[in-house]
Structure formats: structure tokens, C-alpha cells
Chains A and B, each alone.
Chain A
Amino acid sequence: MKHFSPSVTRAATILLALLSPQLILAQDSELRSYRLGGIASWSEAVSVGVKELALSAPATPEEMDALIGEAEKIATRFGISVYRETDLIVTDLFAADVAEGKHVLLLYRPPTLAKYRALKQEKAKLVESEQYSGAAREDIARRFGRLLSYPEPIIDQKLKANGVEQSQRPTFSGVWKSPGIALDDKDWLIADLACRNGCSLVSYEYLNDLLADPANDDISIVDLYNDTQAFNRNYVANLIRPNVLQSMAGYDAANDAALDCTPAGDGLTHQLTAPPAIEFEHNVDRVTIKYEYWNAVRTIYLDGRGLAPDAEPTRLGHSVGRFDDRVLVVDTTNLIPSQISLIGNKFYLSEDARFIERYRMSEDGMRLDIEWTVIDPVNLRGPYTGFMAWLRAPGWELHEWRCEAITGEF
């Protein structure tokens, strides 16, 4: 190593001292440009819908003072909103001190800010009630990750990196779309589209098997579907007890409950298969399923309580659930008898009807397969299992179900 004389070193030190304000200024300017560049990139990602919410790099309050004006201009240019967050939500998605004492810009399109604030408030309530732990804590982090539009495996990685012992429970939190309202989505299988209003599980599997067999490549999809339909008709015919169909003799379509905008008479089967979007919320002791259809809300109790045989029957019944490995299994009883139609065979389920639902999410968290089994010995020789697929709908919100009765006046 080359050694300089003390005089040279002294001279260099003086020179550096003279230049340092300029160097610091240059460094500040570079850092500011870097941060604004990041804000512009994330703003574009938000504006085109790649991300629902993006975060700027954390900055000290003074640094943020210098950034905010230009950041707002950038956000305006991209048609998005910006919010200066002085107290970023702390979850297990990031290190706890990632934004400690610093400000962060939230880049978003309305109404994402309200969702962020609601999540933050929910976390605060959990902390206050000393319930911010385990699955509830993990769920807060996962939902924050989804707001940031992170794929599920990335959320898994980040949680793991932060030492979170992940629960075996998958969380379906968020909004999901059915084939009927998202026909264009390329992630559907042909059988999903064929089954877009729900179909029997066996017919779904039958069609999938036909489509998977190279020997059928020269057979049209229509023919394969007709084959499936014949199979399914036979399956259902063998399942329904012969005397059941007579029970529908008195049915008058004019009394269709939907005409007067009341959900009465519209049962759980239709609630499960109606195409409007659905949303899940996970808590430690329950899963809440919200449906656009009828603005319905179901609570699935996970706290170990049993069925409630004495409970008043309701349209959607009383539901308890448990996780079987990664599958949410829901048991529902106490249902007001409602009408069901299997391949055009209409009948009312008995008051003893029981539903077992199975919610199975794909490994990447983007697909949810829902199976429901109807057990009704009065009407069916054996259990009937239906199927319908759903895809995660990042950025979606449930719309209010607004209904207007058809009065007959033109």
C-alpha cells in the first residue's frame, strides 16, 4: 500500500472538507431522483392495474417534505392518488422497523386507501383486545400483501423470512369471481365454463377426463359435452327418488320470489352457485362469506361449537366449519326447505337437508374450488355433490345488490 506524507494527507483532507457540501448536495440530488423514479414506476404500475397499492421507499420527514410536491405531480400525471402515511401499518410482511420514524407514500386508486385504513384499524382493534396473534396476525399480513398485489407464494416467502410460523389454514380472504362474470379470464378450464352455474362434481370430472384424453382430440367439444350431459342426466335420474317430482305439481312461476325482490325461498344451493362475486373474511374463530347476491352474509363458526338442532331454520341455515388439512369443511343445517332443480327436475329439499361444503384453494392462492354435498334422504337416494370454480379477483369490491321488483307495468 502506498503511504502519503502527513502534509499531503492534510492537504487532501482540507480539499475534501471544501468540496463536501457539493458532494452531499450531489448525493442528495441523486437520492431524490432515485426516489422520484421509483415513485413514477410504481405510479404507472398502479395506474395500469398491475398493483392495487404501491409504497414509496421510506423517507425521513425532512426527506419526504422535499419529495411530496413532485410525487403528487407524478401521481396526477398517472391519474392515481397519493397519501403521505406517517405511521405505516406494521405487519409480519416486512421487518417491524422498516418504516419506523419514517414517512411512506401510498400510491393507489380509490377506494384502496379506505381498504388500507380499515385493515390498519382492524389490526389496532386486535392489538387492543390482545388477539393480535396466530392466524389473525397472519391474516392481517396476508391481506396487506394482497393489497400490494403480491402473489400468494411471495407473501408466503415474506412471512417465512420474517420468522412467521405459518398456520396450516389457508386464508381465502378477498374477493372471488365466477366464470359467469369473468368469461374472458384465460385461467378457466373448458370444464369450468361448462360448469359456470354449478354442476355435479362427477360430470365436471367426466368432462375433464374426456378433454384430457388424446384419443378424443378429433371429437368436437360440443360432442364431448353432449356425452357428458347424457352421463349426468343418467346420474341425476338415478339419484332422485321417483315420488319427488310430484311435489312440484303445484308450482306457479308467477310466485317466483325473485319478482318481488325478497330472497325468501331462494335456498343455499342457489346462493352457492349464483355468479355474482363473493368475498371471504377470516378470523380466528370464524370465516365470514359475503355474497353480492342478495347482499347475503354467512358466518362459518370455527370455534368448535356443534350444530344447533334447536336453532330457528333460516334461508342459509346454521354453519360450523373446520379445516381438514388445507380444506375448509362447512357443515350446514337448520335450513328452510328451498327449491332445487337438477337437470330440470325441480323439487323442494326436505327440512332435514344438510349441506357439506368443501373449499379448496390452489397452492398459488388464485383459484378456489367449491364443492357442496346435499344430503337429503327424503328426496335423494344418496348424497349429491355439486361443483363450481372461482378465481381470485384482486382489486375487486363487492357491489351492492340493488333489486327492483318487476311490477308488470311497462
Chain B
Amino acid sequence: MKDSKEYLWLLAVLLPLSEVALTHHNAASHYLVDQKITVEGVVTRFRLINPHARIYFDVTTEDGDVQKWLGEGNASSVLRRLGWTDGQLKPGEKITITGSPARDGSHKIDWERIVLADGTELRGGNTKAGEREQQLRDLDKRSRRPNR
């Protein structure tokens, strides 16, 4: 039986493998999807909206300058179904956000993972990684043989 970590990895890479992806919501059009950066900041605003959820946050540089950043995530129509709410992130909340940098060098990031101050990790709307891992293990057990 497959190891759940392997399965999680599989799901992480499945999206680009699904072949019908258009310019709409195509992260590769705006972000360097092969590169990853990690930025720490403080949330100023969170918008759970289409076409992409947005986190507006401030990043303080080593020089003490404050940079305005924008993080883009999945569509709210997807995230809300996965349990996200308008209050998922609150102004003042410290976040460490990992994702792909903007192609044009602007302070934008296509988020892949967000870690909150208390260590809680947010991904594409799945806030309970442990439960997901178990569910995927169950799914793997039951679904390897199509029964149709």
C-alpha cells in the first residue's frame, strides 16, 4: 500500500499534470512556478474572493523599510468549499508564506503554504493536514481498483 506522504506529494504535483489549464488562473503566466521563496510578514488585509483569494501583507526589510506585498491563492469558490472563511487571516497576524515569486519582480507571491505564528499550516484550504493524510490513505486503499 502506498505511503501517505507519497500520496500527498502526488497531489501536490497533480495540478500541472491535468492537461486542460488555461490562461485564466494559470499561475505560470504570472509567477515563476519552478522557483520558491519564503517571506515573513504581517497581514494587513485578507480577501476571500475570485478569481483568486488575496493576502495583503507588510514585509519589514533588514533596513527597516516596509514593503507592501500581495499573496495570491486559489479561487474563493474553491477555498470556501474546502472550509476557508472571510476571517481565515486577520489584520495584524504574522505569517510566513512560501510560494512562487512574480515573473515581473514585483512583490507578489503565488502561495503554496502559509505558516501562522502558532505553527498552524495552511495550504490550499486544507487546514487539517493530519486528517487529510488519513483520508488519503483510506482513499488509496479503496480506490486502487476501479469498481466500475
Contact = CB atoms under 8 A, between A and B. Distances in A.
Interface string B67-78: 011101001111
A288 interface: no
A221 B14 CA distance: 12
Given A186-B138, A190-B144, A197 B132 contact: no
A392 interface: no
Given A181-B78, A183-B126, A410-B107, A199 B19 contact: yes
B24 A266 contact: yes
Nearest to B131: A184
B82 A267 contact: no
B81 A177 contact: yes
Contacts of B139: 186, 188, 190, 193
Interface string B82-124: 1000000000000000000001000100000000000000000
Given A181-B81, A186-B142, A292-B77, A197 B15 contact: yes
A177 B78 CA distance: 10
Contact of B19 (A198, A257, A275, A276): A198
Contacts of A265: 23-24
A270 B22 contact: yes
Interface string A219-258: 0111001000100100010000000000000010100111
Given A211-B144, A221-B2, A232-B19, A277 B51 contact: no
A122 B135 CA distance: 40
Instruction: Give the secondary structure class of B's interface.
Output: mixed
Given A197-B20, A253-B23, A341-B22, A184 B29 contact: no
A404 B145 CA distance: 43
B146 A399 contact: no
A406 B29 contact: no
A359 B52 CA distance: 29
B81 to A, nearest CB: 4
A195 interface: yes
B35 interface: no
Interface residues of B, number: 52
A24 B118 CA distance: 65
A403 B49 contact: yes
B20 A261 contact: no
A368 interface: no
Contact of A236 (B6, B19, B29, B81): B19
Contact of B23 (A186, A256, A386): A256
Contacts of A341: 19-23, 26
Interface in B32-64: 47, 49-52, 54, 56
B51 A403 contact: yes
Interface in A378-401: 386, 399, 401
A177 B21 CA distance: 19
A293 B77 contact: yes
A403 B50 contact: yes
A225 B23 contact: no
A208 interface: yes
Quick one: which of B26, B56, B103 has the most chain A CB within 10 A? Answer: B26
A208 B17 contact: no
Nearest to A275: B78
Given A183-B126, A186-B135, A236-B19, 15 more contacts: A181-B78, A189-B143, A190-B139, A190-B143, A193-B11, A197-B20, A221-B2, A222-B6, A222-B9, A256-B29, A269-B20, A270-B24, A293-B77, A341-B22, A403-B51
The 3 closest A-B pairs by CB, nearest first: A253-B29, A197-B18, A410-B68
19 contacts: A189-B146, A195-B18, A196-B15, A208-B146, A220-B2, A220-B6, A221-B6, A221-B10, A221-B144, A222-B6, A253-B26, A261-B50, A275-B78, A340-B20, A402-B50, A403-B50, A404-B47, A406-B52, A406-B54
